[in-house]
Every structure is written in C-alpha cells, then in structure tokens.
Amino acid sequence: MAKCPKKEPDWLMISALQHYAYCPRQFALIHIEQAWADNFFTAHGNLLHERVDSYESEQRGDIRYERSVAVRSNALQIRGKLDLLEVEGGSAKKYYPVEYKRGKPKQEPWDKIQLCAQALCLEEMRDTTIESGAMWYWQVRKREHVPFDEELRGITLQMIKEAHSLLMSGQTPEPIADQKRCKACSLNDLCEPAVFRRDHSSAYIEGIFSDPTRSESNGD
Ligand code: SF4
C-alpha cells in the first residue's frame, strides 16, 4: 500500500537505516506501512537490548561508561539511542560508541552503518571527530573494532539520503532479488516476495504473447 508523498522530511530513526540497507522494501513495510512481525531473531535482539539498557552508568579509571544515550543530528534529520558510550579523558574527551547485536559479525556493512550514523550524531552534538567505535556480538561474545573511515562515512550518508527520500515518496518498492536474504527476513510472511515474483513472471510471459513488436524483433 503506497502513501502520499510528503512535503517535509520526517526524522529518521537510526535503527531504520539497518532495515533500509538490508532491503528497501523491508524499510518501507515497517516505516511507511507500519507493518511489523517479530521472529525469533528480532525478539531475542529486543531482549538483549532491554538487558543492556538496564545497566547503570559507571566510572572505571579514566573511562566513563554511559548506557542508552540519546543522540540526534539536526543536519541529517536522524535520531536514535546508543547502547553504550565510552567517554575517556578530562577536558579533551574521546568518545567511543558501542552497539550490541544478537548475532555475529557480518560481511555486509548493515550494522556498521547504524554505528557510524550514531557517531555522526555525536560529532554534531559534541563538535568533535570520532575516529572509531565497536560492535559487540552476543553470539560470539566478541567486540569488533569499527573505524569510521571515508568509505563507511560515504555509504552511511548515502543510505541516510536514500532512506529519507523513500520515506518522503510514501512508495513501497518491489522485493529484492536476493532470495537468501528474504528467507531470513522477519517480514517474509507479510511481504510475500515469492507471490510478487510469480506475478511478475506471469505478467512477463503474457506480455511476450500480447506485444506484436516483441514477436517481430525475435524474428518470429
Ligand atoms: S521478504 Fe525479502 S523483499 Fe520482502 S521485505 Fe524481506 S528481504 Fe525485503
């Protein structure tokens, strides 16, 4: 179901960038059509975040550990919450954002985009530069160090721009081609990508037999 295009851009939740990077249709189903379905993975991820949120802030040596820190960027119109922010030093502070995830490190940059967007917010809020952060993966109980290099910053800014523009359009795009990704998607039942693809292939076949120009160009 498509909605009317908007005149003013909405604020984008940083967690939505991960949905967009995974699949623009998933992003649209959740953030435009307000459809959502929990599967085991998302339910477990929510539980993990609830647990992380319940920890108190604390000081250990020269580092202060702040939990559930709200961040926003007026320039990028994004906002969200950091799982953990490590703040080191006195007047010249060094910030190190950490995001917790249920699974394990991925080849694709989905999680890193979310973390980098959080860092971009902090940079604007604190008028500073943040060189790196980390992902912490529950499944492997391991931290992955993430440098905020030019490439990751570029991809993140591009995703923010595209996600805003899709949100403004109010249109839900077609399913992605990657069927493996669809299998792991919590919205598979709502999205019905297989039905959509089947409809498309039958329309294509019908088009071949009803379009005379196609027959000519094929030399029939
Ligand atoms: S099932 Fe596939 S196309 Fe549909 S929302 Fe999920 S990933 Fe995207």
Q: pLDDT, tens digit, for every residue of 169-183?
A: 999 999 999 999 999
Quote the ligand 1 centre to 27 CA distance (angstroms): 9
Enter the tokens of residue 130: 């943040």
At 214 the pLDDT is 46
- Ligand 1 cavity residues, CB under 6 Å: 23, 25-26, 29, 175-176, 181-182, 185, 187-188, 191, 193
- Identify whether 184 is part of a domain: no
Per the CB < 8 A criterion, the answer to whether 13 and 20 are in contact is: no
* pLDDT single digits (tens) 107-130: 999 999 999 999 999 999 999 999
Q: Does 199 map to a domain?
A: no
Distance 110 CA to ligand 1 centre (A): 15
- Domain assignment of residue 122, yes or no: yes
The residues, any chain, with a CB within 8 Å of residue 41's CB and separated by 6 or more, are 102, 103, 184, 186
Q: Does residue 75 lie within any of the structural domains?
A: yes
The residue range of the domain holding 90 is 12-173
Q: Is residue 151 part of a domain?
A: yes
Q: Give the pLDDT confidence score for residue 7 in this predicted structure.
A: 63
Q: Which of 32, 176, 189 to mutate to test the pocket of ligand 1 (most atoms within 8 A of CB)?
A: 176
The reported pTM is: 0.81
Q: What CATH number does the domain containing 63 carry? A: 3.90.320.10
For the CA of 191, the closest atom of ligand 1 is 4
Give the residue-averaged pLDDT of 212-218.
44
What's the gap in Å between 188 CA and the centre of ligand 1?
6
Residue 195: predicted pLDDT: 85
Given the CA of residue 179, which atom of ligand 1 is nearest to it? 2
In a domain, 66, yes or no: yes
C-alpha 47: how far from chain center: 19
**Ligand 1 centroid distance, CA of 2 (Å):** 16
- Considering the domain boundaries, does residue 193 fall inside one? no
| Phi, psi angles (nearest 5°) of residue 157 | -65, -40
Q: How many domains does the chain have?
A: 1
Residue nearest atom 3 in ligand 1 by C-alpha distance: 175
Residue 186 lies in a domain: no
pLDDT tens digits along 33-87: 887 665 545 665 666 666 666 667 889 999 999 999 999 999 999 999 999 999 9
Find the length of the chain: 220
In the reported structure, the alpha carbon of residue 75 is separated from the centroid of ligand 1 by a whole-number distance in angstroms of 30
